[in-house]
Structures are given as C-alpha cells and as structure tokens.
A and B are shown apart, each in its own frame.
Chain A
Amino acid sequence: MKRKKPEGQITKIPLKQRRRTFTEVSRGFSLPEALKEACRCLQCKEPMCKAGCPAGIDIKEFIRLIQEKNYMGAVKKIKETNNLPGVCGRVCPQEEQCQLYCILKNKGNAIKIGYLERFVADWELEHAVQYRVAHIQQQKPTKVAVIGSGPAGLTCAADLVQEGFEVHLFEALHKPGGVLVYGIPEFRLPKHIVNEEVDYIESLGVAVHKNFLVGRTKTIDELKNEGFKAFFIGVGAGAPKFLGIPGEILNGVYSANEFLTRVNLMKGYRFPEYDTPVTVGKIVGVFGGGNVAFDCARSALRLGAAKVCMIYRRTETEMPARDEEIENAKEEGIKLRLLVSPKEFIADKKGNIKGVRCIKNKLGEPDSSGRRSPVPIQGSKFTIKIDTAIVAIGTMANPLLLQTIPGLELTSKGYINVNDNYQTSVPDIFAGGDIVSGSATVISAIQQAKLAAKSIKDYLSASGA
C-alpha cells in the first residue's frame, strides 16, 4: 500500500541546511498564508473538527477569529482549553484528529488546523503580548502537588491554578517540560517555544520546583503532612526499553532516551560549547518505527553521520510515526530497512559496536495492535554494518516514584491503575499521561490531565477544601 502524501505543502527550510542543523524544519504559516488558510474554513454549523480534538479546543471559533484578524482573540480562545498551543500546533498528529473530521477532507484538502494553532501561538510570542488570564478565581488555601512537568503535569497544573488552587509543580530534572525538553528535538519543537509556554503557566501562579525528585527529596507522605490535599502524578513512561539481544551493552549502543536527552536537554549538539558530549559514528542504525525513532534518526544525521538507516521489523504502513515525519526523514536521506529484525550486536576488537546481525521478516496475521505482525524467514540471516545503534522501541513505566507510595495499585505492566476519573487506588492521588496509558502522544497526555484536573477539583470540593 502506498502512503498518501501529507496534505498541502508547508514551507520548510532548505534541505541542505536541514541535514546539518537543528533549526526548525517547518517554517509554519506567514500571516497572509494563515489568513488565506483560515478563510477556506466553511464555519460549519455543526463542526466535526472539535470532536476530533482531545483537548476540546473550539476550533471553529478560533479560526473565525483569525478570519477577523483578531489574532489575540484566537489565542485566548485556544488557551481557554489548551495551555500549550505552540507545542500542540507542532507535535499533535492533527491528520488523525481534528483534521480527520474536517468536512473539506473529503475534497482532499482539510483545513490545516495544526498550522493555524501554531500560527496564533507564535503570533502571540512574536508580539510579546503574553496573555494573562484575567479572572483567576480567588486563591483557595488548598495545596495541590503536581509531579512531573511534562505535557500532562503542565496541563493539570495550569488548569488547577486557574481554579484557584495553590499548585506546586515538581520536576526531577533541572529544566521543566519533561519529554518536550529532553525528548523532542529542536528541529521539530524549538525549546524557546516550550520555555515560553512553561513561563506562561508559571505566570498563572504555579510554583515550579526543579531538581526535586518526589519520593526521594520528599515522599508523598511528607508532602501530605505539609498540607498537600491532592496529588497528580504525570511522570510519563520514563524507563527505556532495550531489545534484549546480545551485545546491547557495547559502546556505541544508546537507548533513545539517552541519545535524545544528550542531544536536547543537555544540548550535546553544541558540544563543546555545552559540556555534555554525544557522539555518532559514520553509519547509524536506529531501531524502531515511531516518532521517537525518527527523531533519533534525524538527530543522528544532523550530528554528522554519513549514513542513517532505520531498521524496522514490519513495513512502512505499520510504522506508528506521523506521515509528515516519515516524509521529512526520507527527504533528508534517511534510509528505511523494512521487514528486518535485529538479533545480535557485533563488537570489534575494542568492544565497540561494528554491526548488527539481522533476520528478514515477512508480514503475517494482524497482532493485538491490529497491525500485521512480522514473521521471521528461516535462513535469512544477514549483517548490517553500523558503528552506532540507537534503540527506539518504546519506553515503560519507571518504578522509582511509584514504589515509594504504599497502596498504589499498578497494572501488570507497572503503569498506574486509575478509574474513569483518573483517580488511583489512593483516593487523594490522581494520575494521567503515559504513566497511566503507556507511551502515547503529547495530546493524549493533555487530555487525560485535563480530565484528572477536573476530578481533582470535584474531589477537593466534595472533601470541603
């Protein structure tokens, strides 16, 4: 099956520049482009797009405000429901959400809602009129702790502070933003955008505590004793998955988390100006087919690798990454080695990786994910020469915090069990995002965090807080 091209064409920076710098690839809409795009919107009487937005943004209305050139109004409209428009406008898979439901999609050209969202977010930043919520309700003396400052934590904190609670946001790393700062690379999501949106949430009154590892620096029980009445855990699925094949400990084999953290959070691509190194060899193999795998591959290329290939056990059709990212990667010259499974990393005399032994697959019956499963072809073993490997086959729950909370029920895979209200087995602890659902998207974390924030509000008002 051939993949459809992403709808429409957005200006990107020149390919030559793209392959060697971390500058954002997509330029987004200029003002005239945004106006033109907004004016294509039919302003449906009963718009379907909103139903496709996990954050429930009033899409029709914000586009109408763009049509009226009321960009500030459009920002306000989005921020009524989504506190991270600059982020979501860039990394949401709109083609599977709002834009999938756009009536114009039937004519082959859905409104580019994501780019319009990004446009208004960037417009606000550029015009330095940081929108402050005018009517923050009377501050309640009730303290809520939000643990983890990724998309879920930021959203939950922002929603609760706007309800008037005293919100404290705890982050173990030295910068807030979670996966938005350590995971998603600059060329897809510039860090100044994340910083601005975090600053905005801080400006609403959220107290951010960096370098604070809840469970170790202070336990949840200690925080309870200090008067915290409710907790939201949004720590993501932070532990790396490895392939579990021989040679995975060789020098030159990175987990995606390590590689991306070195590149993004620690700015390893600017070594030695920044002190943390990140190295790639001449031929890099990336294992996996999701957005993270593509982020790794495209980062490796930008770090100077001569050749980057992605090794994936199914075909392009089954790859979970966004079409747009697959397209970008191909344009940049990244090769896809499909229907291939790694079996063993091979070392050179010095104990560095020099290749990977693989086996070829064919597609079999669909598995539990609904995608056709890879079936190994007997006797098809072969070797691919690589001197750097990046394992990007997903993440799992990090037990570090969870094991410090007595009575917290987990699923068989180690994620947190929640009820329909995102409440855990410990009544005053709520959770959302990847630590509940397993690795998913930024927007699904935001959606869960919004629902959890509402539940926390209900829980606190029921308990008289």
Chain B
Amino acid sequence: MKILTKEILAQTSDTRITKIEIEAPLIAKKVQAGQFVLLMVTEKGERIPLTVVGNDPQRESITLIFQEVGYSTKILGTLNIEDSLYALVGPLGHPTPIKNYGRILVIGGGVGIAEILPVAKALKEAGNVVYSILGARTKELLILKNEIKSYSDNLYIATDDGSLGQKGFVSNILEKILKEDKDFQLVYCVGPVPMMKVVSNVTRPYKIKTLVCLNAIMLDATGMCGGCRLIEGGKVKFCCVDGPEFNGHEVDFDELMHRQGRFINEEKVSLRKLKHKCKLDSGKKK
C-alpha cells in the first residue's frame, strides 16, 4: 500500500489532478479495465472508491488518478512517495465488457479522462475503431491527451473556455459527429454527472448503446450498505456491485446528482478542518 511514484498531471489556482502509483501486488494481478479500488488514507479517514487507471503486474503496482476536489482526495494528495495508505481493497465492480463492437466513441470529461484510458486501451486492443472526445474546463486541466491519442483513430477536444480544441462541451462535438456519421455501436462516457446526462441524451435518439461509469457515495463497496443506490431502468441498483457502469439511457441522473449531495454540509466542515490544519502546518514551518 506504499506510494511508489507520484506526479502532478495538471494544476490550476483552484484544483490539482494527481497521479499516484501504489504498491498492490494482488490487485495489480487481478484488475481489469473498468474496475475500481476502495482506499482509506488514514485510520480515521473515509473509504473512497477510485477507478484503477493502470496496472503493472511486474512492478506489482496500480495507478490511480484523482482530482483533489473534496476533503478526502485533498488528504490523499498530501501523501508522498514512500507514504502508505491505511487500507486498500479490490478489485471491485464489474469489468467493462471488452469485445469488438466495431466503431466506438469514448468520451471523457475532466478527471474522467483518466477513467476512460484503460477502457480505450482495451477496446482498441480488441479491434475496435476508436473515436475519442476529451473535454476539460481549460487547457491546463486536459490530461492524458497523448496517451488517449495513442489508442484513438480520431481524437477531438473541447474546452469550456476554448483554450484548447473546440470551445464548448464534449456533447457539442458528439452531436456534430453523430449528425454526419451514426455508425457507432458503443459510446463509453465518464465525467461529471451533468456531462454524462447530456451525452446520454444526445445518443438516445440514435439508439447507440451508451455506458456511463458512475461514482456514487460508497462505504463498504461490497453490496453491504446500499448507500450507493441509484435508479437504472426504474429499478434500484447498487453502484458498487451492480456497476460501476450503467446504461446511460436508463439512469436517473437527476436523482444521482441529488444523492451525491447527501453530505454536502459535512463536506464543508471537513474542508474547514483541512484549511485549519494547513494553517497550522505552514505556521510550523516558519
């Protein structure tokens, strides 16, 4: 559970996307594209799920990429090489069904780009023609462009501010592509929930199978608590054991967004605690 390497992939004034390679011999051997692990940074920490972005059985390691956005990911971001996690379990969730679908579109938004990387790779290796669309708020936050490119037959980029690629959203590019060419057998999309919702709405009239990878609030991640329940096709599902991938045309995204805000006030309390801690730490250094 030791951190072997660490790299800041992207940084702006308000956020940071970090990549860590963690020693995890058993998980490295087992994990498949689309699966996740659950980790705790400290004994008092939360149990948080993260998609496994890469694995190296020889180095006995897995790679995780996360945006330091909430309290627990910020704490995770404070760890350095040689530091150890308190807990790490996996691999969890169903792997992505990998086969030759034909022509596919993989779409990643923000840190979601990291999550589509192993899937794009596996689908490309399975013989698919891969079109990739990447989106980010701004150029600095658009990660893994070259890596995704190496598994793509076509790569499109959108940024909210137009600093790289087309100005706008991935869904704008998707719409344009589908208007000219509907011959896609799968759309695979990971990103912020509103983005996955819009993408699913775009592909629905074309009846293209659309998989979205969801990240509900989890606790045990083994089907024990039901905290991560969401609605797919009118039925209650558990994100951890039934997913994490679901049919985008059937997911109730509004409900999911609402449930993701369950502990929004407590998150603010935790973030204040972090600010206080940072102040104390910087005080010490002086």
Contacts and interface: CB of A to CB of B under 8 A. Distances in A.
Interface of A: 172-174, 182, 210-213, 216-218, 238-240, 242, 248-249, 251, 254-255, 257-258, 261-262, 266-267, 271-277, 279, 351, 398-400
A58 to B, nearest CB: 36
A261 B227 CA distance: 10
Contacts of B92: 213, 216
A212 B26 CA distance: 9
7 contacts: A239-B226, A249-B259, A251-B258, A258-B226, A276-B47, A277-B263, A400-B241
Interface stretch (B83-91, B115-123, B190-198): B83-91
B47 A257 contact: no
B99 interface: no
Contacts of A262: 219
A424 B98 CA distance: 34
A217 B255 contact: no
A15 to B, nearest CB: 29
Given A238-B223, A257-B224, A272 B90 contact: no
A275 B223 contact: no
B269 interface: yes
Contacts of A254: 227
Q: Which residue among B87, B89, B263 has the maximum number of chain A CB atoms within 10 Å of its CB?
A: B89
B225 A273 contact: no
B223 A239 contact: yes
Nearest to B260: A251
B266 A271 contact: yes
A238 B231 CA distance: 21
Given A255-B226, A266-B46, 8 more contacts: A216-B90, A242-B236, A261-B220, A271-B266, A276-B45, A276-B46, A277-B267, A351-B258
B34 to A, nearest CB: 14
Interface string B215-230: 0000110111111011
Contacts of A249: 229-231, 236, 255, 259
Contacts of A272: 266, 269-270, 273
Contact of A217 (B30, B75, B87): B30
B200 interface: no
B236 A248 contact: yes
A237 to B, nearest CB: 10
A173 B220 contact: yes
Contacts of A218: 26, 30
Q: Residue among A211, A213, A239, A273 with the most chain B CB within 10 A?
A: A211
Contact of A213 (B75, B90, B230, B259): B90
Interface majority SS (helix, strand, loop, mixed), chain A: loop
B266 A279 contact: yes
Interface in B114-152: none
A400 B71 contact: no
A262 B227 CA distance: 10
B40 interface: yes
Contacts of A267: 44
B72 interface: yes
Interface string B24-35: 001100100000
B44 A274 contact: yes
Contacts of B179: none
Contacts of A182: 220
5 closest residue pairs by CB, A with B: A277-B266, A258-B225, A174-B87, A211-B89, A255-B226
B252 to A, nearest CB: 9
A275 B226 contact: no
B262 interface: yes
Interface in B48-90: 71-72, 75, 86-90
A267 B43 CA distance: 10
Contacts of A210: 87
A72 B230 CA distance: 53
Max chain B C-beta neighbours (<10 A), residue from A172, A218, A258, A275: A275
Nearest to A218: B26
Given A262-B219, A266-B219, A274-B44, A255 B89 contact: no
A238 B258 contact: no
Contact of B87 (A211, A255, A258, A271): A211
A211 B86 CA distance: 10
A218 B259 CA distance: 32
B234 to A, nearest CB: 11
B72 A275 contact: yes
Contacts of A273: 44
B269 A239 contact: no
Contact of B86 (A172, A174, A212): A174
A217 B27 contact: yes
Nearest to A268: B266
A22 to B, nearest CB: 16
A227 B265 CA distance: 50
Given A242-B226, A257-B226, A275 B231 contact: no
Contact of B222 (A251, A351, A398): A398
B230 to A, nearest CB: 8
Contacts of B71: 275
A398 B27 CA distance: 22
A182 B75 CA distance: 24
A241 B223 CA distance: 11
A262 B217 CA distance: 12
A379 to B, nearest CB: 29
Contacts of B241: 400
B219 A258 contact: yes
A276 B47 CA distance: 8
Contacts of A212: 26, 89
A262 B92 CA distance: 20
A142 B219 CA distance: 35
A172 B30 contact: no
A266 B47 contact: yes
A216 B229 CA distance: 21
A261 to B, nearest CB: 5
Contacts of B91: 216-217
B32 to A, nearest CB: 11
B26 A217 contact: yes
